[in-house]
Structure 1
Amino acid sequence: MKKFGVIQKVITAVAVGCLIWVTPVAAQIQQVSAQKPLAIETGLNVSFPEVGKLQTRTAKEISASSWSIGGETLDRDYTDYHSYKKYLGPLGAKRIRLQGGWAKCEKVKGQYDFAWLDAIVQDAVAQGVSPWIELSYGNPIYEGGGEAKLAGALPTAPQAFEAWDNWVRAMVTRYKNQVKDWEIWNEPDLAKDKITGESYADFYIRTAELIRSIQPDAKLMAFGLASPNRLEFVEPLFIMLKEQNKLNLVDILTYHGYSPNPDNSYPIIEKLRQMVWQYNPNVVFMQGENGAPSTPKEVTIGAMRDHDWTELTQAKWDLRRMLGDHGRGIATNLFTISDMHYAAGDHMVGVNTKGLLKTNPDKTIERPKMAYKAAQHVFSLFDSQIQLSSTQEVQVKGENISAFQYAHQPTKGTLVTVWNKEAKPADTYEPTLTDITVKGSFKQPVFVDLITGVVYQIPAKQWKKSGTTHTFTQIPVPDYPVLIAESSALRMSK
C-alpha cells in the first residue's frame, strides 16, 4: 500500500499549475483542430464493429492531469516555439518543460533579456499549459561560468557562482506567479569528467535554498538524471541533505534513461526509488524526459540512435512509455513536441527526431507525426478523472503482457490498458489473441486503438459477466497499448 500512497503524491505534486496571463489563442486552436486527420496505418486489423473515435481535447478543456510535454532546447534555439505553438494547446498536455537558458538571458554581464522567455510562458499559460522550468546551463561570459551545452560543466569560480545566484534570483522573482516547479540542471551525470555527485549536491543545495527563499511554496526538482542506474551519483546529495537536516529541499526526483524496450526500464527505477526512500519517503518520482526517434539510425542523433525507427515505432514506444509510467503512478514528460536541430559546439550535431512534430530544415513545422495523434488520445482521455485502481484486479492469460486497471470517477466505469512488452516495438507485429479477466464495472465494453483513436464494440460472444468479474476472450493485444473500456467512460464522436 505504500506504493499507492506515493502514486497519489506524484499525481498531486505535478498535476496543476497556475494560470495568470490570458491572451487570445482560439483561432490557433481552431486551426489545428480543424486539420484533416492523419492517415494512420498501425497494422492492427480489428474485426470488431467500429462505433466511433476518441474525441481529443485542448489543454484548456482539461481541468487537470499529470501529463507534460517537452519544450526543451529553446534556450539554444534548436527549436522554434512560435512555429509549433499552434499545436501545443490542442495536444492536451497540461504542462510543458522549458529550459531557462542562463547564457541566452545574460549575454552581457548583469543585463538580462527575458523577452524571449516571457513570450513563451505567456502563450503557454494562455493555452492552458503550465510551464515548469529547468535552470541551466552554464554561461561562458564568466570565467569559470561553465558551458552552455548538454554535458557541460557547472559554474566553478566565485564570480560565476555569484552571477548564477543573481540570474536564478531574477528568474524566480519574475516567474514565481506562473511557475511552481523548478528543476535544477539537466543530466549532470552525463558530464562524467566534469561533474561529480558531490559537486552537484553542493550546487543543488545552494540553488534550492535560494529558490525557496524567494518562493517558499516552490516545488524543487532534482537531477534530471541521464542514467537512473547511477545510484553512486544520486546518493551523495541525500547524504549531504541528511547531514544538514535539509531533506525537504527535494520534492521531486526527475530521471530520463532511454531503453529500446521501454518496459525494461522499471526494475532500474524501482532500485532508485528504494534507495532514495531510505532517506526521504516523501520524494516523488517523475519521468522528466523520454521519447523515441522517428527515423532510421543514419538520420537521427541523441539517445537510441543506434536503432532504426519509424513514425509507427515511435508512436508505439511513446505510448508504452506513457502508459507504463502512468500504470505505476509516475508522472511523465514526453520528449518532445518538435524535432530539435542541434548546432556545432554542443554535445552532438544534427537533428534529433524525437519530436511529435516533423520539422523543415529551418525548424518550422512540416506536419504532425503519428505519435502526435497517439499522445493526443492519451492526454485527452487519461485526465485526473481517470484514477489508477489500487487493487489492480486484472488477469491476463499469457506471458510478456502488461495490463493496468483504472476507474472513471464520475461513472465508476472500468478501463484496462494492455500491451505486449516482450521486445522493442516493431513495424510489423502479429497481435496476440488474449483472454483478459477483470473485476470491475462494464455495461457496454469497447476496444480502443490508442494510435488511431478508433473505438470498436466488443461482440457479445467475446465477453461474459459473473457478478463483478468480466472475462474477455480472443482480444487482440499488439506491441503497443490498447484499451478495454466501459464506453460511458469515454468521449467519442461518431
Structure 2
Amino acid sequence: MRIGLLVIAGFLFVQHGFAQSDVAQPQSSRTGALATPADWKAVGQLKTRDAKAIKSSTWSIGGETLDRDYTDYQSYKTYLGPLGAKRIRLQGGWSKCEKVKGVYDFAWLDAVIPDAASRGVAPWVELSYGNPIYEGGGEAKLAGHIPTSPEALTAWDNWVRAIVSRYKNQVPEWEIWNEPDLNPTHTGTEIGQFYVRTARLVKSIQPHARLIALGMASVTKLDFVKDFYDELKRENALDLVDIMTYHGYAHNPDSSYPNIEKMRQLVWSYSPRVVFMQGENGAPSTPKAVTIGALRDQDWSELTQAKWDLRRMLGDHGRGISTNLFTISDIHYTAGDHMVGVNTKGLLQTNPDKTIKRPKLAYKAAQHVFTLFDDQVERLPSTKPAVSQETVTAFVYRQTKGNGSLVTLWNGEARPAEEYMPKPTTVTVKVQFTQPVFVDLVTGKIYEIPKKQCQKSGDEWTFRELPVPDYPVLIAEKSSISF
C-alpha cells in the first residue's frame, strides 16, 4: 500500500492506496475546513483504519445496483477495505440471476460476496426486484411491482430458496425488497403478505438469519408502515422483523429526525425488539444539472456532500440508529429504469465506463467516522451537553476501554453550505478529559484547544467560543485517538 502526504490549503491528508493526484480538491477557496483562529496549533492528522483492523461497528456502505450493472464491483473493491465500513448492502437481482426460466447464474454474486467478506466487510443482501420473464413477475427496476401471479410467486420462492441456500454461510442478513412505497399501487398490507411469505422461506433455510424490513423510501408514510405491521400481527409474524430500514432523503439531514422518531414509536408499539437502521442515505456531489436521484433539485459539491454525509452518519449514531451510507461508487442508470443518468452520491467518482477516477472528499470524511466510532465507543444518551447556540447538536460518547471521551458538535440550522462561517459556541459537559483536542472530521486535522478556552470545575468542562461549523467536529481525549 502506498502512503503519501498531500497539503491542501494548509491541511495534511494521509493517503492510503491511491495517488496524490487522486484526492478530491475542495471546490471553494475556503476548503470547508474550520476557520480556526490563528493561535490554534495543529498537532496531527487522524489515522484511518482498514475494515480488517476494526472488530465491529454499526457502519455499512452501499454497494447497490450491481444487479443492473450500474456500478462495477471489480473497479471499486480495492477501496472497500480501506474505507472502514464493516458491512456492505448488495442487491440480489432475481432478474439477473434467472434469465431463463429455472436456470440460475450466480457467477456475478460469487465474484462479490466472498471477496467483500475477505476484505473484512460483511455482505447483507436485499432480495429484489421482479422478473419480467414471468407473466405477473413484476419489473427489474426501482419502483417496480412485486410479483403477483401464482407462477411468478412460485418462481420467486424458488429463486429465494436457491440464493439463500447458496449464501447462507456467507450472508448473515437478508433485506426483503427495496422502497416498496415508491410504487403507488403497493399497499402496506400487500407488502406485509409478500414479506411474511419470503421471510418464512428464508428462515426455513437459514434459521439464524437476521431479517430486514422494510426499506421505506419515505419516513412520513406511517399508514403504510402501520398496515404492514398490522398484517404481520395478524399472521403472528412480528418476530420475523429484526431490523427496520428506511431512507427518507432531506435537504437538511437534521430535519428528518422528528418523523423518524414517530416511525420508531409506531414500530416499537408492535415489536420493541426491532433495531432501527438508516438503510440508504447520502448526498450528491455535483450541481443539479449533472446528478439524478434524490436531492437533485439543489446544487451540490464534493464539499457539501461530505458535510451532509457526516451529519447524517453522526445524527443517526447519536440517536442509536445504524447507518448504511449511500453509496460507495457513482451509479450509472440506463434507459428502462426509474431514471437515466449518473447519480453522483458515490464516495468514489467514476469514469463513463464505471471505473473509478478517484475518491471524493466524502470518502475521507467517512473514513474518519468509521475509524473513530467502532464498537469500542459507547453512547452516553443521558449526558446532555449545554450549548450556547440552540441550533448546535451535540452528543457524548466514552470509550469502553480506558477513559477517553468524545463529544460531537455541528450546526444543523440549514442544509450544508459551500461557504459557512463557524459560530462561536460555548459547550459545558460532564466528561472525563485529561488533554482534550479539537478534530475536524472533513480534513481529519487535529488541533490543540487553547488553555484560555478550557476550564475544568470538578467533573465538568467548559469550552468557550469553539468554532462550530455546519458539519460535525469533535472534542476528543488526545490519548484516545490515533494520529
Same fold (TM over 0.5): yes
Deviates more, 1:131-140 or 1:274-283: 274-283
Match of 2:51 among 59, 71, 75: 59
CA deviation after TM superposition for structure 1 residue 119, in Å: 0.8
1:354-406 alpha-carbon deviations (Å, 9 max, x no partner): 00000011111110000000000000111111111132231111111100000
User: In 1, Cα distance between the equivalents of 2:383 and 2:17?
Assistant: 35
Aligned residues: 465
| Alignment partner of 1:375 is 2:372 | no
Partner of 2:317: 326
Partner of 1:9: none
Partner of 1:15: none
Partner of 1:7: none
Q: Which runs of 5+ in 1 are unaligned?
A: 1-25
Partner of 1:46: 36
User: In 2, Cα distance between the equivalents of 1:364 and 1:73?
Assistant: 15
Work out the percentage of aligned pairs sharing the same amino acid: 66
Query: Partner letter of residue 434 of structure 2?
Result: K
Query: Partner letter of residue 191 of structure 1?
Result: N
Partner of 2:69: 77
Runs of 4+ in 1 over 4 A off after TM superposition: 37-40
1:137-178 alpha-carbon deviations (Å, 9 max, x no partner): 000011111000000011011110011001000111111111
| Alignment partner of 1:163 is 2:155 | yes
CA deviation after TM superposition for structure 1 residue 31, in Å: 9.6
Partner of 1:91: 83
CA contact (8 A) 2:308 2:416 kept: yes
Match of 1:33 among 17, 42, 61: 17
CA deviation after TM superposition for structure 1 residue 34, in Å: 5.7
1:453–1:27 distance in 2 versus 1, CA, 3 Å:
closer
| Aligned 1:264-283 pairs, distance under 5 A | 264-283=255-274
| Aligned 1:254-269 pairs, distance under 5 A | 254-269=245-260
1:441-483 alpha-carbon deviations (Å, 9 max, x no partner): 1111100000000000111111011111000011000000000
| Alignment partner of 1:238 is 2:241 | no
Partner of 2:443: 452
Partner of 2:356: 365
Query: Partner letter of residue 46 of structure 1?
Result: T
User: In 2, Cα distance between the equivalents of 1:54 and 1:34?
Assistant: 17
Deviates more, 1:446-455 or 1:35-44: 35-44
Secondary structure of residue in 2 paired with 1:86: helix
User: In 2, Cα distance between the equivalents of 1:380 and 1:83?
Assistant: 23
Secondary structure of residue in 2 paired with 1:372: helix
CA contact (8 A) 1:32 1:87 kept: no
Partner of 1:16: none
Partner of 1:130: 122
| Alignment partner of 1:248 is 2:239 | yes
CA contact (8 A) 1:411 1:488 kept: no
Q: Which runs of 5+ in 2 are unaligned?
A: 4-13
Match of 1:112 among 94, 104, 112: 104
Secondary structure of residue in 2 paired with 1:374: helix
CA contact (8 A) 1:43 1:428 kept: no
Query: Partner letter of residue 100 of structure 2?
Result: V
CA deviation after TM superposition for structure 1 residue 33, in Å: 3.2
CA contact (8 A) 2:199 2:211 kept: yes
Partner of 1:221: 212
Query: Partner letter of residue 384 of structure 1?
Result: D
CA deviation after TM superposition for structure 1 residue 32, in Å: 4.4
CA deviation after TM superposition for structure 1 residue 43, in Å: 4.3
User: In 2, Cα distance between the equivalents of 1:288 and 1:462?
Assistant: 40
Query: Partner letter of residue 335 of structure 1?
Result: F
Partner of 1:8: none
Query: Partner letter of residue 101 of structure 1?
Result: G
Query: Partner letter of residue 137 of structure 1?
Result: Y
Partner of 1:424: 415
User: In 1, Cα distance between the equivalents of 2:267 and 2:117?
Assistant: 33
1:31–1:109 distance in 2 versus 1, CA, 3 Å:
farther
Secondary structure of residue in 2 paired with 1:473: strand
User: In 2, Cα distance between the equivalents of 1:241 and 1:296?
Assistant: 42
1:413-438 alpha-carbon deviations (Å, 9 max, x no partner): 11100000000100010000111011
1:201-250 alpha-carbon deviations (Å, 9 max, x no partner): 11000000000111111111111000011011111221122122221011
TM-score, normalisation: structure 2: 0.94
Secondary structure of residue in 1 paired with 2:284: coil
Query: Partner letter of residue 54 of structure 2?
Result: I
Secondary structure of residue in 2 paired with 1:242: helix
CA deviation after TM superposition for structure 1 residue 283, in Å: 1.1
CA contact (8 A) 1:311 1:370 kept: yes
Partner of 1:103: 95
Secondary structure of residue in 2 paired with 1:314: helix
User: In 2, Cα distance between the equivalents of 1:53 and 1:256?
Assistant: 33
